């Protein structure tokens, strides 16, 4: 087992104050490793970075088309959203069209991260619903598949037909048998794989346009939905949304909890997966932005690129005290 490498550094004035260690892999469409840092074989839980994989059975089963889901629904099925109206209105409408309600979700309630939505709820003394949960789009997809399969309501159970279909998709895209799962923050199983196999799965998505099998056609639909509706995938001020916007929809990216991040790069047929060992999102966003810039799909001079490549550290008086930036090892 290889040790993690320093991927991100934090300076305060002229002094190096903190470092973030991690692992990262870039794979091509043949499944070969183009470049790696740290241990490419480290066993990882991709968390919400796996949502594109978890959404594959929604399409391949015929459920998405049977229930008239649009690209906006598909984008939301891959989302870790802010709980803004643009997200929750679509989820509530989706559930209504299924003949279901908030109580049918199994993701649990969550205070919205969107400031406007949260402040409005506080003013009205309302409690959050499950559709405010950042994973409610994924769970709406699970419910759609559940209804299509005429399966039982406990769709998050590991032995439920929905999760069996997700595991099959996970092992197909990664090319390896998963050794197990952990329960995610939204209560669904999150299957584990080696980091290089998760990068391989992202490269499989990136090259899906070259194939005509049902799973690949489904992958193209999901990637296109994410690239066309980045605001639904995350929200205002979020790295996923801002970086996809900055790249003009050329790349689909997705964050996951505990310092995970992936990228799908169709024009280069590359997949990227990275894990920051201390789980810091400030480091994972910086590391991913750096790799995208180094690969050549993110313009380093773009203001949004600069926000993540060389993020200022601001104190409570608004004074810039330092910078968060990639370590030299990440530059190709």
Residues 12, 322: contact at Cβ < 8 Å?
Answer: yes
- Find all residues with CB under 8 Å of 229, minimum gap 6, and list them: 71, 72, 75, 76
Residues 43, 193: contact at Cβ < 8 Å?
Answer: yes
Question: pLDDT band at 332, cuts 50/70/90?
Answer: confident
State the pLDDT at residue 44: 97
Instruction: Report the distance separating Cα 38 and Cα 21, nearest Å.
Output: 9
Check pLDDT > 80 for residue 116.
Answer: yes
State the pLDDT at residue 125: 94
Q: Indicate the burial class of 273 (C-beta count within 10 angstroms; 0-12, 13-18, 19 or more).
A: buried
C-alpha pair distances (Å), 180 with each of 59, 133, 158, 176: 24, 25, 10, 12
3-state class (DSSP) for residue 133: coil
Check pLDDT > 80 for residue 67.
Answer: yes
Question: pLDDT band at 122, cuts 50/70/90?
Answer: very high
Task: State pLDDT tens for residues 123-151.
Answer: 999 999 999 999 999 999 999 999 999 99
DSSP codes of every residue in 209-255: GG--SHHHHHHHHHHHHHHH-HHHHS-TT-HHHHHHHHTTTS-EEEE
Task: State pLDDT tens for residues 239-253.
Answer: 999 999 999 999 999
Strand partners for 312: 323
* CATH number for the domain that contains residue 152: 3.40.710
- Find all residues with CB under 8 Å of 119, minimum gap 6, and list them: none
For residue 125, the number of C-alpha atoms closer than 13 Å in the C-beta half-sphere is 0
C-alpha pair distances (Å), 142 with each of 20, 23, 180, 184: 35, 31, 20, 15
State the pLDDT at residue 257: 98
State the pLDDT at residue 265: 98
Task: State pLDDT tens for residues 69-92.
Answer: 999 999 999 999 999 999 999 999
3-state class (DSSP) for residue 261: strand
Domain that holds residue 66: 5-330
Check pLDDT > 90 for residue 68.
Answer: yes
Task: State pLDDT tens for residues 198-212.
Answer: 999 999 999 999 999
Instruction: Report the distance separating Cα 281 and Cα 284, nearest Å.
Output: 5
Strand partners for 9: 19, 325
- DSSP annotation of 30: T
Task: State pLDDT tens for residues 28-46.
Answer: 999 999 999 999 999 999 9
Task: State pLDDT tens for residues 140-191.
Answer: 999 999 999 999 999 999 999 999 999 999 999 999 999 999 999 999 999 9
Closest CA to 218 of 205, 230, 229: 205
Instruction: Report the distance separating Cα 234 and Cα 226, nearest Å.
Output: 10
Burial profile 228-243: b = 16 or more Cβ within 10 angstroms, e = fewer: bbbbbbbbeebbbbbb
Q: What are phi and psi of 264, to 5 degrees?
A: -120, 120
Q: Indicate the burial class of 254 (C-beta count within 10 angstroms; 0-12, 13-18, 19 or more).
A: buried
Total of domains in the chain: 1
């Amino acid at each position: 087992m290889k040790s993690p490498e320093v991927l991100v550094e934090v300076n305060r004035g002229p002094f190096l104050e903190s470092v973030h260690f991690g692992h990262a892999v870039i794979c091509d469409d043949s499944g070969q490793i183009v470049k790696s840092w740290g241990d490419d074989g480290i066993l990882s839980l991709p968390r919400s970075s796996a949502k594109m994989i978890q959404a594959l059975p929604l399409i391949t089963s015929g459920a998405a088309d049977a229930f008239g889901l649009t690209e906006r629904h598909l984008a939301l099925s891959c989302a870790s959203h802010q709980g803004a109206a643009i997200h929750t209105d679509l989820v509530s409408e989706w559930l209504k069209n299924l003949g279901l309600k908030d109580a049918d979700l199994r993701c649990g309630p969550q205070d919205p991260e969107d400031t406007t939505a949260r402040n409005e709820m506080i003013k009205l003394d309302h409690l959050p619903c499950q559709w405010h949960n950042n994973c409610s789009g994924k769970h709406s997809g699970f419910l759609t598949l559940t209804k299509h399969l005429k399966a039982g309501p406990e769709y998050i159970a590991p032995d439920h037909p929905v999760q069996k279909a997700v595991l099959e998709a996970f092992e197909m895209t990664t090319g390896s048998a998963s050794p197990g799962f952990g329960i995610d923050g939204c209560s669904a199983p999150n299957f584990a794989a080696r980091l290089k196999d998760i990068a391989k799965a992202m490269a499989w998505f990136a090259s899906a346009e070259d194939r005509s099998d049902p799973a690949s056609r489904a992958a193209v639909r999901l990637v296109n939905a994410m690239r066309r509706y980045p605001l639904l995938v995350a929200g205002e001020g979020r790295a996923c949304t801002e970086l996809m916007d900055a790249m003009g929809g050329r790349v689909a990216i997705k964050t996951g909890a505990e310092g995970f991040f992936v990228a799908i790069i169709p024009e280069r047929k590359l997949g990227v997966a990275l894990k920051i060992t201390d789980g810091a999102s400030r480091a994972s966003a910086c590391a991913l932005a750096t790799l995208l810039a180094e690969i050549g799909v993110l313009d380093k001079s773009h203001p949004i690129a600069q926000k993540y490549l060389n993020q200022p550290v601001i104190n409570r008086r608004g004074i810039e005290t330092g910078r968060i930036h990639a370590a030299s090892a990440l530059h190709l």
